[in-house]
Structure 1
Amino acid sequence: MILTMPGRGVAASDFEIDRNDALAPERGGRLGSVSLGEPLWHAKYELSRSMSLDLSDEWRAFAARLRGPQRVLVGQDRTRRYPRNYPDGFAKATRVAGTPFDGAAASWSQAINSDLEATLTLNDLPAGLRLERGDYVGFRWDAAGSPAGTHDRLAMVRLVSPAMANAAGTLDALVEMPVPTLVVPAGAEAHLDNPACLMKVVQGGVKLGDIDTLGTLTGGTIEAMQDLRP
C-alpha cells in the first residue's frame, strides 16, 4: 500500500540527501572516505499550527494509516513540484515536433565521469526549456508483476547545475544524487512534473501536536527516509 500525504497543511519542510559515508584515514595522514550504502532522500515535514477541523482530521487519519514505518508514502520536495521557471506546469509548451509537452522526456541516459559526477541527458523536450539548480527530475516505472501504467515505483534526482534544452530538445545537466541505475530501469519514464520518491517513516518519525479546544492539531512533524526498491 502506497499512501499520499494530504495536499495542504505543511508549514515548512526539509528535503535533502542523506549520505551514509565514513572517513577512512590512510597511512601518511590523507583522509579517504568510504560509502556504506546508497545515498537516500530524507524528509521532515512540519505541520501548520492553524488547521481547519477537517484538515486536522485528515492528517490524523493519514498518520494512523502509516502504522509507523510499516507502510510506504509518496515523498517530495513540496517547494519544487515543478521546475522553478514553470511553476504552473507545461500547458503551453510543445516538443520540437510541435506536439504538446506533458512533462515527460521521451528517453534518458546517464554518464558518470572520473570524478564520479553524474550527467543526466533528457531527450525530446521543448527547445529552449531551461532548468535551474534545485529543480528535480523524477523517474516512474511499474514494479515487476504490477499492471502496466501503475507507476508504483518512484525515484528522483536534483539538478546541481543550470541547463537548457538545445534546438533538438536535448538537455544535459549535472545531478545529485546520481540515478541509481541498479534499481531504476532504463525504461523508466523521466519526468519534470511532480517528481517524487517512495519513503517510509523513520522510527518515532510521526509526532503530532496536541489537540486544542477547537479540536484541531497544534502542529507536529513527520520524518521519513527514501525506500529505494526495484
Structure 2
Amino acid sequence: MKLNPQWRILTVGDGDLSFSYSIQKYLKPKTLVASIYDSEETLKRKYQEHAFDKLVDSKTPVLTEFDVTSPSCWEQLNQQQFDVVVFQFPLIPAFASHDEFKQNNLTVNTLNRRLLRYFLVYSQTYALDKQGPMLSIITSKDVKPYCEWNLEQTLHQGLDITYLGQTDFEIDQFPEYKIRNVDRDKHVKDTRGISYFWSSKGQLPLPVSLQFPGYLSETHCSMCRAGPFLTEQDERAHWSSKKHKQMSRHEKTWQTFLESGEI
C-alpha cells in the first residue's frame, strides 16, 4: 500500500499507534490525524510500547475513544476533511463469555463484516472530501478468519460505493509499525497483508496500481477464492465441499443482516 504524501490521512483503530507514527515519521504527509478505540489511559496500560507520546510531541492530533460504528465519534472531526481513511487489520475483540456472544444474535463472521461496513459508510459520509479521491482503505490478512469476509464483493453491497481493487501491504514501508493483538500487548506474527480500496467516486485514476485478483473471475468461486475450475467435475466437487458449504452459510447470514437495514 503506497500513500501519497500530498494526501490528508486519517487512521482509525490504530491499536498502539505505531502505524500512524510510521506514516508521520517516514511519509511526512500533508495532514495526519490518528485515532484509537481505547482511552489514553487504557492504551498506556495495555501496551508497554506505544507511540502516543511520540505523536503528541510531533504535534500530530490523536483522537481517543474513537468508535468507527458511532456517528458522534466521526462528528468529532468537526468537518475536517481527508483524502484517505485507513483501517489496519480490523478484528472485533473476543467475547468475555459465551453468554455475551449469544446476546448479539449475530455470528462472529457477520459481526466483523458489520464493523467494516460501518467504517465504509461513515468514512465516506463524514470524513472524506468530495473534491478528493475519497479513499476508504482496509488492510486485512489472507488467512482465516479474515479471508472469509468476502470484502471485495459484499461489503459495499447496496451502497453507492465502488470497490476499486487491491494491492499487497508491504510492512517494510512502515518501519516502526508493529501489528498487535486486538486484546492485549502482543506483537502478532507478520503475515501477508492485502489493502482493499473503495471510493464513492467510482473508478478513478490513482497514483497507485491496484489489481483485481484472478479469483474474482468467472472461472473461480470468488466467495471461496477457489479455482480456476478446469472441468465441470472440478467445479461440482467444489460446490459440495465443506469449505464452500461453510462460506455459503456465512453469505446467507450476511445477506439476512443486510436485509435488516441496520446499515
TM-score normalised over the length of structure 1? 0.22
Q: Structure 2 length normalisation: TM-score?
A: 0.20
Higher helix share: 2
